[in-house]
Amino acid sequence: MIRVTLFKSPGGNITGFSCKGHAGYAEEGSDIVCAAVSALSITCANALQSVAGVEPEITEKDGFLTAQLREDQLTRDSQVILKTLEQGIRDMAASYPKYISFTVR
């Protein structure tokens, strides 16, 4: 199962996210659930840099990606990008509840 956690500040801003695990929907290399979560999360991390112009603290390993923003990086653009990730993951978790767990902290 892929566990996606979205981090929010007390004020409601999204400060980052983490994705860990493997979906187990299909064999490695053919797993559409894993591919979709990977595409969304990597695109989000890249867009925070290239579109929003912020530099999140990123950690990436096999089956693990985290991106964390500082308070001064919580711009309108970074929030739109992170809210788009949230919407995509929520939709996927609703469609594949056995393979994706989504939480907000």
Q: Terminus-to-terminus CA distance in the chain, angstroms? A: 19
2-104 CATH fold: Alpha-Beta Plaits (3.30.70)
For residue 86, the model assigns a pLDDT of 98
> Which ranges in the chain belong to alpha helices (H)?
32-50, 76-95
Name the one residue in this structure whose structure tokens are 């978790």: 93
The letter for the amino acid at 27 is E
State residue 103 phi and psi, 5-degree precision: -135, 155
Q: Which of 15, 13, 31 is nearest to 23 (CA)?
A: 31
The letter for the amino acid at 61 is K
For residue 63, the model assigns a pLDDT of 87
CA distance 17 to 29: 24
pLDDT digits (tens, 9 = 90+) for 30-81: 999 999 999 999 999 999 999 999 999 999 998 899 999 999 999 999 999 9
pLDDT digits (tens, 9 = 90+) for 7-31: 999 999 999 999 999 999 999 889 9
| Domain layout of the chain by residue ranges | 2-104
For residue 23, the model assigns a pLDDT of 96
Q: Which of 23, 42, 15 is nearest to 92 (CA)?
A: 23
